[in-house]
Structure 1
Amino acid sequence: MTFEQMWADLHPVGRSSSSGGYFRQPFSSAERECLAWFLEEAHRRELRVESDGFGNVVAWWDPPAPSATPGVLTGSHLDSVLDGGAYDGPLGVVSSLAAIDLMRERGVTPTRPVGVGAFVEEEGSRFGLACLGSRLATGVMGADRAAALTDPDGVRLGDAWDAAGLDPTTGSDLLAGVGCFVELHVEQGRDLVERERAVGAASMIWPHGRYRFDFTGQANHAGTTRMEDRVDPMLTYAATALAAAEQAGLAGQRATFGRLEVAPNGTNAIPSRVTAWLDARSGTDEGLAALLATIEERAHDRAASDGTSLSVTPESVSGAVAFDDDLTARIVAGHDWPVIPTMAGHDAGILAAAGVPTAMLFVRNPTGISHSPEESAPMADCLAGVEALADTLERLAG
């Protein structure tokens, strides 16, 4: 089956008729439908499927004769952010299957296993922790801690596992036979557009973190309370968001408050509490720490002025990840693919940090927009990505 046909089959799953965006949250009906599609495609190609107790799946193309050489893993994820784009994640999975088809058409016989992986909950859109499936698969995070995570509706991940028929107590040895990992992904920026290249490779992932800011004040009447008598945590939050944007802009970094919870959340009530989540990113670990320290300092200064209180809790922090130089050099040799950094987190970063030699390929995104229905990639560039991945896998496993 061609890339175009697979993409057409997967394209409508979980898509909103109103916004055109995707809602493929982990263990939801749409995401499970995507997984069923993946398993069907693996079966169509007679690939050997392995899974773990967390929801991660790998479909293996085995060599004709047993090989003691560790396998080459590719793939990505099938889940999306809320109202997300079509390409972030699924492009890597569909391209991996299409790359195997292309290698077979070329008459390639692998001398080591080639796996196509689909990691669960890469976006962190339901249980709040990005790259959760790969963190569990690599042992970076324990099952007990993960099971206690809850979604916005209060559903525990442990209960979601039960409902999906998964048993996390079985652990995971899904990556035991993996010698290297190559993830293809749509670019989440405009670097390749500006370079006029359809395909590129990654040099590193910027360090990034997610932090919860709890602003506490005093609930009161919006009409009867004089402005000078208020203890309003919304004002402290608003000043903090502006300070974060200012500081990140001055330093060429990234700071985004993208999620907010307000209590009591009434139009005519001064809030008693505002909880906001900051996503911060920088080119270096030291830069990230300095950015957060400055934002915190500005927030505490404003809280003192407003009479509110503030606590800051890091929920996840990932240091800078440099991809394997030798593997990347081997992949790009003989091609005109630029090697560029990425500011977005990926499962590839988790595997690289866990000691698996890892590289990434990017496919051009003409809008530069991601995590949005406007995310895109021309079909010609997608097919160029399939060919680039097939060349890479053939070089590594052919």
Structure 2
Amino acid sequence: MCTIREKISLAVPLTLGILIFYFGTLHSSFFNATPIPDTVIDRAIPFIPVFVVPYFSYYLLLLTPLFVIHESQELRNTAFGYALIVFTSCVAFFFWPTAISTSYTDPLIRGLLSIDRPRNACPSLHASLSLFCALCTQRNLKSSITRYGLWIWMLLVIAATLFTKRHAVVDVAAGVVFGGIVYRLIFDPIHQDAGGPKISVEDPQRRDRPFVDSSQNIESLRQCDSRKCLLEFAIFVTLAATGASINIWAIAHSSFMALAIGVLTTTGSLYSLLHLLHEGLQRQLVPNCLWNRISMVLSGFIFLISFSAFRVQHLRRLRSSGGHRDNFVRRIWELLLIPILIPVSALRFGSATQRKIVCSEYALLFLVCSVLLRTFSMQALVVVWILPVVFAGSFWILIRTTQ
């Protein structure tokens, strides 16, 4: 049972965080906003100022879970969904800003226009949070009349964004899709395989290590060889710095030979890091648990994956194969589909806690990629980062397949 004090402790910091993130990005001007194009549907929708009433009722709608959800874990999951939607959307608002291209004025919406700028358009937070809120709330409503009333309210809020011309159909659709996806990621039932060795990702004693024979000493997998890890990390840093320097010089001087040497050097550095990442699936690499976690997550980001998602997918593959090595063709397909296979597998088969961790890591990865894309040119990122990642991953799979 969730107490009033617990509800307040969740609602107050979450509300403050939403306000800071939203209005902070709304009034930022680091990057020029891209206008959202008007579609035929947008031009056919009339401007109706009176819809400002359901538009503002959105803020009341967001509070309804506090009054109908009484289980602590469910309320925390709902708060996490709110935070995930707002954080991811605000990253998009800041680094990839969009704005509505139409402007209407009326005395009824004068107050709205004074606080709501035309930026922060796509994805629509009104649409994503309203849908997510309605889905979370209706789980706890027993009366069909109340459910119908909730959905009518939600539809009026979303429609109000179009009738007051504060959003376009494109960003409303994006918001609806995003809100629905987040709800499914958090509240969908966990899928479990029927066959294979019984290794459950729910088991806290076994989910952090691969399938091994019971006669092996489990503790040996968790021994920390700090010197070896430090040496491998030093090799990664040295080769990465050298490769990046050569690539930058090669791009500046248009030298193909130097560029090839730089890409190969960076590939070697990433191969050594990939070896560390794979070892991190089986044991703790550094004595401090927090630093071990941070290092593994950041290493996963370099390969555009979530380490937690990689671990869940790794355990599931071992469980389904019974510890046997996959054939060459399957590994090649895994390489080609790895950006999709890893998150989909983790979000489908992971526990509720793992799902939230995976979602958090991918939200942070979106932030990291946005910073890099806004800081460096695409050409530099492809040469210094993307190509070496592809080459290192391909080489890794070829080596492990032929062993």
Shorter-chain TM-score tier: under 0.3
More strand by share: 1
Q: TM-score, normalised by structure 2?
A: 0.26
Name the larger-Rg structure: 2
Structure with more contact order per residue of length (Cα contacts < 8 Å, sep ≥ 6): 1
